């Protein structure tokens, strides 16, 4: 029987693909247009038929009617046409319908039996199928979603019990996690259940605060791609993230402009928060913070040490007093003192305007007459000049080029960037801080220098124009540069703006006149 069955199954496949053996030995290539092959055997041969008019059933063609089907018997490789209206096909055999029907290849009597998910059950009044079983009145059927075949019947509906998959569970003892359940008391940190003290809870349905579960307040709610935080714990109180704000463990109502300020919640339209202390905003002046104190930029306040926000100190100053200055966090009178290395120092002389560090001590001085050098204050001679921090040069023999000290053997030596060059050398030219070699052709002495650089080329200023590195022949003085291009500046309809040559629109009045 076994090899026969195998053969039958293969041939059924062939029947569906409409390939089979036929005495006329036509193949699918012989069938044209609306024709199909009705095959008889395994060789992919049969005969052609018109699929608009007929259907093929086991190597035989029958007229196409809406109510007919083909009943294939896979056990002995036969097929029969039958009428849906009066007959049915069950396990390859055609039966007359009436009180009979087919239940998973087995015939049953519909007046005495029911078919429950492929299993025949005795017909009972008031009963319903529950999976493959029958559910009587007063019983509970727990059916897993999308898997009705595995539904199970439970005898008594019980209070506080719920279906979980096909299980029926006491919800105070178990958690239902989609179709599987687990005891409540066992706390495990799996993907869904988290521990709250020793209790397990579902963060989507409850919030854990201080090792206590708050039911009905969910930390999260499910979205398409994950969870969104909805509730969090705020000082032992579950708090709605959308409606409330948690400020250092205190819950406050939330508005669009709410912000925590210490334990308080402030309206940012009305107040600023200065290191945890709220301060009312001014309608006219800008409100700022100085450490934990708020102030208005009204010219009456000075905040010293703003860079160290937590230690800055706020001072009241009078608007007329512009001698008040900050020295770190201290306020000082700049007519009497100077801020030296972060410390206020009384001026040694009234005219002192700078301070100089000599070893570890500071000294105030007048920069008009003194220079601060490593060894201390040096009387300023006309030939002394500061070059960088704490360094001076003698301008009689030295040059300071952007903070770099160079010897100056002659006055012809000049700075070019941080370097020096011999300005008497006609071959050398300093452009934008770097040395350029002049081409020798233009070196005829005594002649005005008409040759100038235009981008990477030279041009003659008498005959040519250079527009941002592009050379043009100079035809008339009216032609001017506009960006890299030329335009006729005498033409009243043309203007040059931002290097773009514009066609000027004639004014309406001009057009009418």
Ligand X SMILES: *[C@@H]1O[C@H](CO)[C@@H](O)[C@H](O)[C@H]1NC(C)=O
Judged by beta carbon, residue 31 or residue 72, the one nearer ligand X is: 72
Closest approach, Cβ 224 to ligand X, in A, equals 26
Answer whether 72's CB lies under 8 Å from 49's CB. Answer: no
Closest approach, Cβ 229 to ligand X, in A, equals 16
Judged by beta carbon, residue 118 or residue 390, the one nearer ligand X is: 118
Closest approach, Cβ 302 to ligand X, in A, equals 11
Closest CA to 215 of 238, 184, 247: 238
Judged by beta carbon, residue 239 or residue 392, the one nearer ligand X is: 239
> What letter would DSSP give residue 98?
S
Answer whether 353's CB lies under 8 Å from 345's CB. Answer: no
Closest CA to 94 of 109, 111, 80: 80
First to last CA, the chain: 111
Closest approach, Cβ 304 to ligand X, in A, equals 13
Judged by beta carbon, residue 147 or residue 424, the one nearer ligand X is: 424
Closest approach, Cβ 443 to ligand X, in A, equals 12
Judged by beta carbon, residue 13 or residue 197, the one nearer ligand X is: 197
Judged by beta carbon, residue 80 or residue 152, the one nearer ligand X is: 80
- The single residue listed with the structure tokens 């000599």 is 358
SS3 state of residue 262? coil
Closest approach, Cβ 162 to ligand X, in A, equals 11
Closest CA to 19 of 4, 41, 1: 41
Judged by beta carbon, residue 478 or residue 502, the one nearer ligand X is: 478
Closest approach, Cβ 457 to ligand X, in A, equals 23
Which residues, 6 or more positions from 209, have their beta carbon under 8 angstroms from its beta carbon? 233, 234, 236, 237, 238
Judged by beta carbon, residue 76 or residue 444, the one nearer ligand X is: 76
Closest CA to 179 of 213, 214, 151, 201: 151
Judged by beta carbon, residue 391 or residue 480, the one nearer ligand X is: 480
Closest CA to 59 of 22, 26, 33, 85: 22
Judged by beta carbon, residue 189 or residue 382, the one nearer ligand X is: 189
Judged by beta carbon, residue 418 or residue 425, the one nearer ligand X is: 425
- The single residue listed with the structure tokens 């250079």 is 466
Judged by beta carbon, residue 199 or residue 373, the one nearer ligand X is: 199
Q: Which sign does the torsion angle of CA 98, 104, 107, 113 carry?
A: negative
434-437 and 133-135 beta bridge pairing: unpaired
Q: Which whole-number Å values give the CA distances from 200 to 176, 203, 237, in the listed order? A: 12, 9, 18
CA-based angle 502:505:507, to the nearest 5? 145
Ramachandran assignment for 165, one of left (phi > 0), alpha (psi -120 to 50 degrees), beta (any other): left
Closest approach, Cβ 127 to ligand X, in A, equals 17
Looking at the DSSP assignment, which residues form a beta bridge with residue 327? 330
Closest approach, Cβ 290 to ligand X, in A, equals 12
Distance between CA 362 and CA 176 in Å, rounded?
77
Which tokens hold the place of 290?
């100085």
User: Which residues of the chain form contacts with ligand X (CB under 6 A)?
Assistant: 73, 75-76, 78, 91-93, 99-100, 105-106, 109, 111-112, 158, 160, 170, 172-173, 187, 189, 195, 253, 316, 321, 323-324, 333, 335-336, 409-410, 412-413, 422, 424-425, 475-476, 478-479, 488, 490-491
Closest approach, Cβ 50 to ligand X, in A, equals 28
Looking at the DSSP assignment, which residues form a beta bridge with residue 356? 363
Judged by beta carbon, residue 29 or residue 159, the one nearer ligand X is: 159
Q: Which whole-number Å values give the CA distances from 51 to 30, 46, 58, in the listed order? A: 15, 14, 15
Closest approach, Cβ 251 to ligand X, in A, equals 9
Closest approach, Cβ 75 to ligand X, in A, equals 4
CA-based angle 413:418:424, to the nearest 5? 20
Distance between CA 7 and CA 2 in Å, rounded?
9
Which residues, 6 or more positions from 233, have their beta carbon under 8 angstroms from its beta carbon? 207, 208, 209, 210, 239
Answer whether 344's CB lies under 8 Å from 322's CB. Answer: no
Closest approach, Cβ 122 to ligand X, in A, equals 11
Closest CA to 200 of 226, 222, 177, 221: 177
């Amino acid at each position: 029987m076994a090899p026969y069955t195998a053969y039958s199954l293969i041939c059924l496949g062939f029947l569906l693909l409409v390939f089979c053996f036929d005495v006329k030995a036509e193949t699918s290539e012989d069938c044209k247009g609306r024709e199909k092959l009705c095959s008889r055997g395994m060789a992919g041969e049969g005969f052609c038929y018109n699929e608009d008019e007929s259907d093929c059933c086991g190597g035989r063609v029958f007229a196409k009617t809406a109510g007919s089907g083909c009943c294939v018997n896979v056990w002995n490789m036969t097929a029969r046409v039958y009428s849906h209206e009066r007959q049915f096909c069950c396990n390859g055999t055609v039966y007359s319908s009436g009180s009979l029907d087919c239940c998973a290849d087995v015939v049953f009597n519909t007046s005495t039996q029911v078919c429950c998910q492929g299993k025949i059950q005795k017909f009972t009044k008031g009963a319903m199928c529950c999976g493959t079983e029958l559910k009587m009145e007063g019983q509970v059927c727990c059916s897993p979603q999308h898997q009705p075949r595995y539904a199970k019947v439970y005898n008594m509906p019980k209070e506080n019990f719920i279906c979980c998959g096909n299980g029926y569970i006491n919800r105070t003892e178990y958690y239902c996690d989609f179709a599987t359940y687990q005891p409540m008391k066992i706390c495990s940190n799996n993907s869904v259940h988290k521990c709250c003290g020793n209790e397990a809870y579902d963060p989507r349905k409850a919030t854990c605060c201080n090792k206590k579960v708050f039911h009905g307040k969910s930390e999260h709610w499910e979205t398409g791609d994950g969870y969104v935080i909805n509730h969090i714990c705020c000082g032992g109180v579950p708090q709605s993230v959308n409606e409330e704000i948690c400020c250092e463990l205190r819950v406050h109502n939330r508005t669009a402009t709410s912000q925590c300020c210490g334990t308080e919640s402030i309206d940012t339209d009305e107040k600023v928060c200065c290191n945890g202390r709220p301060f009312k905003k001014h309608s006219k002046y800008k409100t700022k913070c100085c450490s934990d104190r708020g102030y208005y930029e009204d010219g009456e306040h000075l905040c010293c040490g703003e860079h160290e926000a937590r230690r800055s100190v706020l001072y009241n100053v009078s608007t007329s007093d512009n001698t008040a200055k900050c020295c770190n966090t201290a306020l000082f009178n700049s007519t009497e003192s100077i801020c030296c290395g972060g410390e206020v120092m009384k001026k040694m002389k009234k005219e002192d305007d700078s301070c100089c560090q000599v070893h570890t001590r500071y000294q105030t001085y007048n920069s008009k007459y003194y220079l601060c050098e490593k060894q201390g204050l040096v009387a300023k001679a006309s030939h002394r000049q500061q070059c960088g921090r704490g360094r001076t040069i003698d301008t009689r023999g030295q040059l300071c080029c952007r903070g770099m000290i160079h010897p100056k053997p002659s006055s012809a030596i000049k700075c070019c960037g941080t370097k020096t060059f011999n300005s008497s050398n006609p071959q050398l030219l300093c452009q934008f801080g770097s040395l350029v070699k002049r081409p020798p052709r233009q070196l005829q002495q005594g002649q005005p220098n008409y040759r100038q650089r235009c981008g990477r080329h030279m041009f003659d200023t008498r005959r040519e124009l250079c527009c941002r590195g592009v050379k043009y022949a100079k035809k008339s003085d009216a032609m001017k540069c506009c960006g890299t291009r030329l335009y006729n500046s005498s033409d009243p309809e043309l203007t040059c703006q931002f290097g773009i040559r514009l066609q000027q629109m004639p004014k309406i009045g001009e057009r009418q006149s």
